Structure 1
Amino acid sequence: MTIPPRRQPPLSPGAVIGVLGGGQLGRMLGEAASRLGFDLVVLDPEPASPAARVAARQITAAYGDADALDALGRVSDVVTFEFENVPAASVARLAAGGALVAPGPRALAIAQDRVEEKTFLNAAGAATVDFGAVDSTDDLRRALAELGAPALLKTRREGYDGKGQAWVRSADEIDAAWAAVGGRPSILEARADFRRELSIIAARGWDGSVAIFPLGENRHADGILRTTLAPAAADAATAAAAQDIAARVLNGLDYVGVIGIELFDLGDRLLVNEIAPRVHNTGHWTQDGCACDQFEQHIRAITGWPLGPTAPHAAVEMTNLLGAEVGAWPELAAAPDARLHLYGKAEARPDRKMGHVNRLRPLSADAAQD
């Protein structure tokens, strides 16, 4: 694929943004792009995907379809992706053919491999739990002896919302844990004795400028994010440590766009759990808590516009709506403190993210000053 010369950032309104992936994150990116005068073209294998219904056009094809990728590259002034399980090779093909791609293929490839991810993070000065690569039960036995039990076994690739992982509480559980992850290349992570999980949403532009949203505090059930409280209650040292981690990750990847970084708060220090090279579920609170939300920020970053303000104007409790919970939309829509965001998915399967609700609260004096 050879793409004709494209306009360089900053891109003017009317430019076309290509998105690999047509789920809810793509949909909300499309809503933000539309507000700024951009058109969206989505590539997704599912006809009439959620994002396609707010886009100018959908290319319906597999993410690895060479012809479809070439078509997306030709019509797009910049290409991005909405989830990290898009093949890194597809992003690399677009970039090699001359498409402007943000974030770049390196960030995606690192985030897709948990061993590579933790290796990069530690090299960048963003500490993680101790870990070991596991390709067999013998590797698992050695890693467990080094890290101690209990430890968490995860597949190196894919797996989300608690899938593709198993706790190993003793050497007697090695065979069962290995079977639970399907005998696939994996990583064993030392247990983190953390007080809570935090996350930080940050952005970097083509010019190297960085903008960071306040911390959020996340609460999970059965491995799935249920609620984010933001801005999180955090002292100045914790906030500064999180911002330093975000800057190290963004600059270390030469990143362009919005990134989500999940953190373990150990009380006296922060460890990075994982990075997501995209807009992130834990940043949905910004839609109603900030003048410029994470989706608009991503569009601004990849098109070369100035990054928007990140100061909150309200405290927000974001709650995911899973499966049949979306049926409560009439009550949620009627609540004066609630802002409802639905994804347009047809089937409300158990644990499927169908939408979220942001409940607004007064901003604390400390958060307002920050």
Structure 2
Amino acid sequence: MESQLNPQVLIIGAGALAEQLETAFRGLGCATKVGPLECAAELRPDLIVNATEEFDPDALREAISRTGAAAVPSLDACRITRNREGIRRTAAEELGLPTMAYEFAKTPEELERCADEVGYPCVVKPSVSTGGLGQTVVHGSEELGGAWNSAREMRPDGSVAVERYVDFDFEVTIVTVRSVDPATGQLATWFCEPIGTRHEAGVLVEAWQPAPLSEAAMDNARSIAARISGKIGVQGVYSIELFVAGDEVYFSDVNPRPSLDGMVTVATQRVNQFELHARAVAGLPIDVTLTTPGAAHFLPAQPFDRDALARALAVEETGVQFLEDAVVIRSTAETVEEARGRAEAAARDLTA
């Protein structure tokens, strides 16, 4: 893509992430289309950008073969990151990254054995990332049956992940960029300021940037992010999820694409995560400058009346964005605490 003029880009997926990625690539002069992978046969794109984990790897491989398009992320990157087992074994066993104790079960009987080995409390999750849905914190063996059913409802095939529950201080996401450094012509790594996240029932409800990390925790977080993104190796943005407990940092997950966590960067950074992804893929200059502290609050997509929207928009330094599958409220302020308070107040106004 680096040398092409106005390349054709097919973005696979739907919803908030796909919409924002289309805007970012179009902003660089690309001809863009959001749609299913089947569009590739007629469109014959130069680049297929995957904005979702729900895709058929064999169909993607065939589309690449038939059209000659490049894929972002690459097929190898998709293979590594597509399921929790692949990610965990790469992180813990190949790279030696600190992770929670984990096992994978294919039957309810295996789940009980795995939970005993990992220890209670533990977290039972579907085999692939599901935005927090289908996850259960299990405190004893009597709860395993319900946890198995919840995970299987979200993902009927593959294994079920069992992780040791860590009493962490908070969760962070490091938006990491891999691209070509203009000064050296070699691949290099950039780190956005850490993003703190809060979930309810496993679903993201709030994100803020920058998250307060100690110097030691920051060094550990960036070391983990550099090593896992370097292992995957492709150009683009990586959303790397971590647990922080004091100065200790544990690897949780990685997605080789922008994420909902990074939606806050639309308000806080000079170049947001979607624009960074497009720039990185194109080999264009990278700028991860944070311009202001900020926070984002996430609500399910639903209609709101005009008066409620007016109240939310009256909150200082606050905007509301309606997307296909979410409503994102973003606020900025002099401090993260103030920005979080504004976003929360706007969310209350919008739903009152």
TM-score range, shorter chain: 0.7 to 0.9
Q: Report how far residue 208 of structure 1 moved.
A: 1.6
CA contact (8 A) 2:301 2:327 kept: no
Residue 100 (1) aligns with residue 78 (2): no
Q: CA deviation at 1:270?
A: 0.7
Residues 153 and 168 in structure 1, CA contact (< 8 A), matched pair in contact too:
yes
Decide whether the 8 Å contact of 2:11 with 2:35 is kept in 1. Answer: yes
The equivalent position to 2:247 in structure 1, one of 268, 283, 299, is 268
| CA deviation after TM superposition for structure 1 residue 297, in Å | 0.4
Q: Which amino acid aligns with 2:293?
A: A
Q: Which residue of 1 aligns with 2:341?
A: none
Question: Residue 113 of structure 2 aligns to which amino acid in structure 1?
Answer: R
Aligned residue in 2 for 1:17:
9
CA distance in 2, matches of 1:107, 1:125: 19
Given that 1:315 and 1:360 are in contact with CA atoms closer than 8 Å, whether structure 2 keeps it comes out as: yes
Residue deviations 1:10-49 (CA, integer Å, cap 9, x gap): 444x2222211132111111222232222212223xxxxx
| Greater alpha carbon shift after TM alignment, 200-209 vs 273-282 | 200-209
Q: For residues 129 and 92 of structure 1, what CA distance do their matches in structure 2 show?
A: 33
Sort the Cα spacing of 1:326 and 1:96 in 2 relative to 1 into closer, same or farther, 3 A. farther
Letter in 2 for 1:82: A
Query: Structure 2: how far apart are the matches of 1:138 and 1:87?
Result: 29
1:230 aligns with 2:209: yes
Which one is further off, 284-293 or 333-342?
Answer: 333-342
Preserved CA contact (<8 Å) 1:202 1:212: yes
Distance in 2 (CA, whole Å) between partners of 1:163 and 1:329 is: 28
| Structure 1: distance between partners of 2:269 and 2:146 | 46
Contact kept, 8 Å, 1:10 with 1:304, in 2: the verdict is no
Please say if 1:80 is aligned against 2:73.
Answer: no
Match of 1:354 in 2: 326
Provide the rounded CA distance (Å) in 1 between the counterparts of 2:188 and 2:132: 34
User: In the aligned structure 2, how far is the partner of 1:204 from the partner of 1:292?
Assistant: 15
Does residue 113 (structure 1) correspond to residue 93 (structure 2)? The answer is no
Secondary structure of the corresponding residue to residue 205 of structure 1: strand
Matches within 5 A, 1:187-336: 187-205=161-179, 207-307=186-286, 309-324=287-302, 326-327=304-305, 328-336=308-316
Q: Does the 8 Å contact 1:326/1:354 carry over to 2?
A: no
Between structures 1 and 2, the one with greater helix share: 2
Whether 2:28 is the aligned partner of 1:36: answer: yes
Structure-1-length-normalised TM-score: 0.81
Instruction: Give the whole-Å Cα distance in 2 for the aligned partners of 1:325 and 1:218.
Output: 25
Contact 1:152 1:167 in 2 (8 A): yes
Q: Distance in 2 between matches of 1:171 and 1:354?
A: 36
Task: Specify the SS of the correspondent of 1:181.
Answer: helix
Q: C-alpha displacement at 1:363, in angstroms?
A: 5.5
Q: Distance in 2 between matches of 1:129 and 1:96?
A: 39
**Residues 23 and 82 of structure 1 are in contact (CA less than 8 Å); yes or no, is this contact kept in structure 2?**
no
Deviation at 1:162, TM superposition (A): 2.9
Following the alignment from structure 1 to structure 2, what is the Cα–Cα distance between the partners of residues 266 and 286? 24
For 2:166, the aligned partner's letter is: A
Structure 2 residues not aligned, in runs of 5+: 181-185, 337-352
Structure 1 unaligned segments of length 5 or more: list them.
1-7, 45-62, 346-352, 365-370
TM-score, normalised on structure 2? 0.85
Letter in 2 for 1:172: E
Number of positions where the alignment pairs a residue of Structure 1 with one of Structure 2: 323
Secondary structure of 2:109's counterpart equals helix
The answer to whether the 8 Å contact 2:301/2:322 transfers is no
1:313 alignment partner AA: T
1:130 and 2:101 are equivalent in the alignment: yes
CA distance in 2, matches of 1:334, 1:11: 44
Paired-residue identity, %: 23
Change (3 A) 1:303 1:134: same
The separation in 2 between residues aligned to 1:286 and 1:190, in whole angstroms, is 31
* Rounded Cα–Cα distance in structure 2 between residues aligned with 1:148 and 1:301: 41
